[in-house]
Structure 1
């Protein structure tokens, strides 16, 4: 055997026994990146990429770097299913998803059957945590059930409304929220009445017929759901003002995002809503983890982060802390380290997860006082 051939065989054998380089951990994101919710989905995705970048600067997780693969669900369940299958083909270790509840509910069983860890960042339907489609579900955002209690309490105890109407997005998110609010009314022995419900589709931008009907009913409060924060909701707010409706516009929790203020401006003045994150209000201004995120996000993207960005960031943080604690990427193992557990030092501060995977929310109810500059006044 020649010396050259011997060296070749030796090199080949050495390569077979040498340890393979550790592959990157893959994090997938599935959000609307186009259409009416596109700018909001981009905000969540940007926050995920920012926090992943921060982790990589510290060496990644389990000694491995993290890469982000982002896909557009187009706010459509069928597209979401296709994107979930693409993530399976990509062999991702985690999917962070969910702006629209119908899309999340369509994707959950696909990812669960593939054994992929799935964290819902934004979608609110209570069915997401039912355990039927994803027994290891984790959600960062508040749920319809929690939100309903906050809104019902404001309408009954603070506004003291006697006549209430609903302007409801006609899908599992909107209908679920309305049903939850009405259930809260019953628990509170609400002595008033629900006088009218007007419904619309997620992609609608013309609400003049519904608003005309609501103006005629003249309720004390109109409770609104609309998750098309960059298109449908700003149009609704502007048309609401143009119709000169005197009823108080009470927005569902989490719908009054930066995109709404940017488009509708001062037409938002007087709107009442609630949310779980504010970059410039207590208690977040005194949380080091929150202020650091706000500063980093603002530096990276030129604007302060809104709640949707905070949810994306927290999803990465919570997952990473569970991975570090368990030294595992296994879905069941990681989910068990989150569900029912306390996670420290997130964008939301120290947080507690309920046994069903829901992060316990802390709310601030507010009124918009300067829509053009997105200035809010805390009510309670």
Structure 2
């Protein structure tokens, strides 16, 4: 629906491409690297939306094509990908980003050529707080999700001491900053830790976590969080984890943890997508074509 809405809004405002018989929607996400599974789900959801609009005759008689742009979750790569998208006169908008570290520079590139950007997963407040008229998102911001996690930890789990992890990048750090701030307001003691995303052994830093921590808030992507969960028992820690939307991933988190993630908590879409009548058709169509819906696909659609 979003892909069609973007194209519909912009075809009338883009006379330069009026003569073309095809309009394009860019899907900018990590298509390679450790976030490729979540990124591919976004691209697949955009393609599904385009296919459905094309069956209805497209937009103003024009066929919609999806242009995949692999940003690899890397800001430098994302800028290069965005420049290619911006140079394509047939592109009328973009569904872009699950990582704020890429969304911010990409939005600057697309703003220069007046291309709309809608993000299904870039949560840092700076993504939309810089006054760019082209930039939008449909996901919860860090300053909503982080405090919610801290409130849950302190008020529901009765946490007194919280180990707060992030990987130093824009999105995860933004959530962790908000968790720390809210935890302090609620009288809990947050202790900050930073890991390097993509490492395979976090036991050295996990061993420095006090044994009396009540809970770990892991503002990390699913593959890293799965390893942390698996390695906690190796350093004598028996503690639950809370994580943001990047861990709403049954394969890369739950399955990859080998069962260690059972009992942990993740904040994301509520209620269950399969229990929402309006989402039934999307879920059925997506899963028939691409397999189980697991993360940012519904928001991209």
Normalised by the length of structure 2, the TM-score is 0.87
- Could you say which residue in structure 1 is the equivalent of 2:74? 76
Q: Give, in angstroms, the shift of residue 21 of structure 1.
A: 5.9
- Could you say which residue in structure 2 is the equivalent of 1:257? 249
Is contact 2:183-2:189 (8 Å) kept? no
Distance in 2 of aligned mates of 1:114 and 1:51: 24
- Picking from 261, 265, 276, the partner of 1:272 is 265
Describe the shift of the 1:130–1:60 C-alpha distance in structure 2 as closer, same or farther (beyond 3 A): same
Rg (Cα) greater in structure:
1
For the aligned residue pairs, the C-alpha RMSD in angstroms reads 1.9
Unaligned 5+ segments in structure 2 are 1-17
Describe the shift of the 1:170–1:297 C-alpha distance in structure 2 as closer, same or farther (beyond 3 A): same
Q: Give, in angstroms, the shift of residue 169 of structure 1.
A: 1.6
Equivalent position SS for 2:194: strand
Is contact 2:202-2:228 (8 Å) kept? yes
Unaligned 5+ segments in structure 1 are 1-19, 314-380
Q: Give, in angstroms, the shift of residue 57 of structure 1.
A: 0.8
Describe the shift of the 1:154–1:36 C-alpha distance in structure 2 as closer, same or farther (beyond 3 A): same
For each residue in 1:302-326, what CA deviation from the matched residue of structure 2 results, as whole angstroms up to 9, or x when unmatched?
Answer: x22123111211xxxxxxxxxxxxx
- Could you say which residue in structure 2 is the equivalent of 1:16? none
- Could you say which residue in structure 2 is the equivalent of 1:90? 88
Q: Give, in angstroms, the shift of residue 156 of structure 1.
A: 1.3
Is contact 1:168-1:199 (8 Å) kept? yes
- Could you say which residue in structure 1 is the equivalent of 2:186? 190
Describe the shift of the 1:126–1:49 C-alpha distance in structure 2 as closer, same or farther (beyond 3 A): same
- Could you say which residue in structure 1 is the equivalent of 2:285? 296
Equivalent position SS for 1:213: coil
Distance in 2 of aligned mates of 1:287 and 1:164: 34
- Could you say which residue in structure 1 is the equivalent of 2:161? 163
User: Runs of 4+ in structure 1 displaced over 6 angstroms?
Assistant: none
- Could you say which residue in structure 1 is the equivalent of 2:7? none
Map 1:167-186; keep pairs closer than 5 Å.
167-186=165-184
- Could you say which residue in structure 1 is the equivalent of 2:217? 223
Describe the shift of the 1:233–1:182 C-alpha distance in structure 2 as closer, same or farther (beyond 3 A): closer
Distance in 2 of aligned mates of 1:77 and 1:101: 9
For each residue in 1:93-128, what CA deviation from the matched residue of structure 2 results, as whole angstroms up to 9, or x when unmatched?
Answer: 011111211111111111001111111111111110
Distance in 1 of aligned mates of 2:215 and 2:247: 17
Normalised by the length of structure 1, the TM-score is 0.70
Equivalent position SS for 1:223: strand
For each residue in 1:226-281, what CA deviation from the matched residue of structure 2 results, as whole angstroms up to 9, or x when unmatched?
Answer: 12x3x323222221244341222111244231221232231111112221156xx3
- Could you say which residue in structure 1 is the equivalent of 2:225? 233
Describe the shift of the 1:37–1:286 C-alpha distance in structure 2 as closer, same or farther (beyond 3 A): closer
- Could you say which residue in structure 2 is the equivalent of 1:17? none
Equivalent position SS for 1:26: strand
Map 1:14-33; keep pairs closer than 5 Å.
22-33=20-31
Question: Does 1:308 find its partner at 2:301?
Answer: no
Is contact 2:120-2:137 (8 Å) kept? yes
